[in-house]
Amino acid sequence: MNLLAAPDGDRPIHGGGPTAPRTSRHRGAHEREGSGRLGEGNLAGLGHLLRFMILRDRLWLPIWVLALSALTAYFANAIAVVMDSDSLQAMTAFAKNPVMALITGPGYGLDEVTVPRFIVGMYGLFLMIGAALMSILTVSRHTRAEEQTGRAELVRAGVTGRHTQLLAGLVLTVFMNFLLAAGMAAAFGFSQAEPDSWSATVLFAVGIGAVGCVFAAVTAVTVQLSAFARAASSMAGAVLALSFVLRGIGDMSHVSGGSLDWLSWLSPLGWAQQTAPFTLDRWWPLLYSAGLFAVLVVVAVVLQSRRDLGAGIVAERLGRSQAGPLLSTPLGLALRLQASSLIWWSLSMLVMGVVFGSFTGSMDEGAAGMPPEILSIMGGRSGIVDGYLGYMALYFAIIVSAYAVISAGGLRSEEAAFHTEPVLATAVSRAGWLASWAVVTLVGSGWLMAMAGLGEGVGAAVSMDDWSLLWPSLLGHLAQTPSIWALLGFAYLLFGFAPRLMSLSWIVFGASAVLALFGGLMQLDEAVLDLSLFTHIGQYPAQDLSAEAVLWFTVIAVVLIGAGMVGFRRRDLVTA
């Protein structure tokens, strides 16, 4: 007998239980939530949830904003100190080089270069990528990751609407980009670069913030498509990579006088660069960013209205009724979980390699027009070709390192999603599970570098009609793999001892990439450049390979992964 039931079937005494009948007010709110419109019911609790998200990100929000703002301040002050007018004018010869356009952008204002123009043209693109990554990770963490771990269901059980969490995450990310733009404008405006126009300074910072907002909206859409946070972040990252490639091809074509410069206008990165601060000072390209942001937010809201909590628009495929023999081993399971990502990355590396390798002929033709004194310093036309192939090996090593860090983070995601515990409940040991995942990632990194080197070599051989370039390109790319392995070792060490700190591997990755790409231009000391993981092996075929560095990086990777295995055996599983 239910002692809490009221006589004659009236409403129970406790009144708030699940058996209480719905009043018209309750039914109206429920109907508004289910309709998918942005009504009051769908936005209930927005302010409370936003304050909670800010409190939860009390560490990561200032880290992202201050780190990127400090990087801007460093670029602005360092370039102003180490480069005089003669050094800046010497960069004019490289401004019309297609490889410069690939790395930095269309090079507006570099023909009559000043320190502010140099900083915007050379380093602005990488600050945009930093803002985009910040936005992708923030939106994914506060939306799909919450659904995947079940916390979103607890939030939705309170007084919150269907779209509250999504929009709160977007508002938080836009606020972070606003703070980032303000910090960058202040860091640049009060630096030793001494920009002569505050409006151009603000335009530069707002353009970077606009890129971050666009990719926040991109992630808001991708988290509706997949039921898994890692897949959603990977899709958003793929859009960022595609944007980078389209912009790179368009800008290289622009500099070399080709007909594909319109591709730059298909990229959110290109829109921000087309504002050309301190040169053209155009605000109107940012209207494209604002328009795309608005459209993608509407698309995200509509898609969320058409799916169940915890599910994705793209339905999960049912597996086989019986597992194959490969899945009977932890190595096979790790390969199966990473196979889809590895396939897409392989295709991307091969295509990017062919595309960028096809510009080798343009590099060779551009070298013919260089002043003889500069050409002799660079080793002649053959030296420029070798330098381009060697630099692209470094460039692809940085890109594949991003894959490696994402893949290592997948092991943490499996643990947080309660998938690791069932695996370890079998005969699989903790050390065996980590080792299996690490082997797939280590071999996968080498495979991706091989695909990039093969594509680069084929593209270069076809454009130059010289198939002797194929093997040096492939070898130069493969030789960079141990530096990626060392970064992976650090990531797995963190997983073994402090999984919540695995994001530190992104900091090591970012610092190493910046030093490798820009350390020489900023004339940093050799001791500082040696802090980068990517400056030790050498850029073959332009430089001799360091067998010692290859060996040491390989040993370091093995030792760090082994230490991570020891730490994983000794700690508790972390699922929150």
The arithmetic mean of pLDDT across residues 172-192, rounded, is: 93
pLDDT at 39: 54
In whole angstroms, give the CA distance from residue 53 to residue 90: 48
pLDDT at 18: 41
pLDDT at 122: 81
If you write DSSP's letter for every residue of 166-219 in order, what string do you get? HHHHHHHHHHHHHHHHHHHHHHHHTSTT--S-HHHHHHHHHHHHHHHHHHHHHH
The arithmetic mean of pLDDT across residues 498-511, rounded, is: 89
Q: What phi and psi values does residue 573 have, to the nearest 5 degrees?
A: -70, 140
- pLDDT category at 569 given cuts 50, 70, 90 is very high
324 has pLDDT over 80? no
CA-based nearest residue to 534, from 339, 397, 344: 397
Q: What phi and psi values does residue 108 have, to the nearest 5 degrees?
A: -65, 130
Structure tokens at 158: 């309170």
- pLDDT category at 10 given cuts 50, 70, 90 is very low
Report pLDDT digits (tens) over 232-255.
888 898 899 889 888 988 888 877
9 has pLDDT over 60? no
Three-class SS string for 97-130? Answer: CHHHHHHCCCCCCHHHCCHHHHHHHHHHHHHHHH
492 has pLDDT over 50? yes
H helices, E strands: number in the chain: 25, 0
Q: Are 205 and 187 in contact (CB under 8 A)?
A: no
CA-based nearest residue to 102, from 282, 240, 254, 210: 254
Structure tokens at 462: 């076809």
Q: Are 534 and 547 in contact (CB under 8 A)?
A: no
11 has pLDDT over 50? no
Q: Is 248 helix (H, G, I), strand (E, B) or coil?
A: helix
pLDDT at 37: 53
Answer with the residue of higher pLDDT: 275 or 359.
Answer: 275
380 has pLDDT over 60? no
- pLDDT category at 326 given cuts 50, 70, 90 is confident
Count Cβ atoms below 10 Å from residue 551 Cβ, excluding itself: 11
Q: Is 369 helix (H, G, I), strand (E, B) or coil?
A: coil
In whole angstroms, give the CA distance from residue 76 to residue 33: 49
pLDDT at 508: 92
Q: Are 342 and 445 in contact (CB under 8 A)?
A: no
Answer with the residue of higher pLDDT: 136 or 258.
Answer: 136
266 has pLDDT over 70? yes
The arithmetic mean of pLDDT across residues 311-319, rounded, is: 78
Q: How far is CA 91 from the centre of its chain?
A: 29
167 has pLDDT over 80? yes
The arithmetic mean of pLDDT across residues 156-178, rounded, is: 91
pLDDT at 576: 54
The tokens 């126009």 sit on which residue? Answer: 197
Report pLDDT digits (tens) over 279-298.
999 999 999 999 999 999 99
pLDDT at 95: 58
pLDDT at 378: 46
Answer with the residue of higher pLDDT: 259 or 199.
Answer: 199
Lowest mean pLDDT among 19-28, 189-198, 241-250, 537-546: 19-28
Answer with the residue of higher pLDDT: 377 or 315.
Answer: 315
With a CB cutoff of 8 Å and minimum separation 6, the contacts of 18 are: none
Rounded to the nearest 10 degrees, the angle between the axes of helix 60-82 and helix 504-518 is 10
Report pLDDT digits (tens) over 388-412.
888 889 989 999 998 999 899 889 8
Q: Is 570 helix (H, G, I), strand (E, B) or coil?
A: helix
pTM of the model: 0.76
Report pLDDT digits (tens) over 442-482.
999 999 999 999 999 998 898 888 888 899 999 999 999 99
With a CB cutoff of 8 Å and minimum separation 6, the contacts of 9 are: none
Rg (CA), the chain: 26
Q: Are 201 and 281 in contact (CB under 8 A)?
A: no
Report pLDDT digits (tens) over 107-139.
787 777 888 888 888 888 889 999 999 999 999
- pLDDT category at 14 given cuts 50, 70, 90 is very low
The arithmetic mean of pLDDT across residues 514-522, rounded, is: 78
In whole angstroms, give the CA distance from residue 184 to residue 124: 11
pLDDT at 322: 73
Report pLDDT digits (tens) over 41-96.
677 888 889 999 999 898 889 989 998 998 888 888 877 777 767 767 766 666 56
212 has pLDDT over 80? yes
- pLDDT category at 38 given cuts 50, 70, 90 is low
CA distances from 462 to 342, 367, 389, 428, 469 (A): 27, 18, 14, 49, 10
In whole angstroms, give the CA distance from residue 57 to residue 53: 6
Q: What phi and psi values does residue 493 have, to the nearest 5 degrees?
A: -65, -45
Q: Are 256 and 388 in contact (CB under 8 A)?
A: no
Round the average pLDDT of the chain to a whole number and report it. Answer: 83
Which uninterrupted H or E stretch holds 398? Answer: helix 380-416
Alpha carbon distance, N-terminus to C-terminus of the chain: 40
Compute the C-alpha angle 525/531/534, nearest 5°: 105
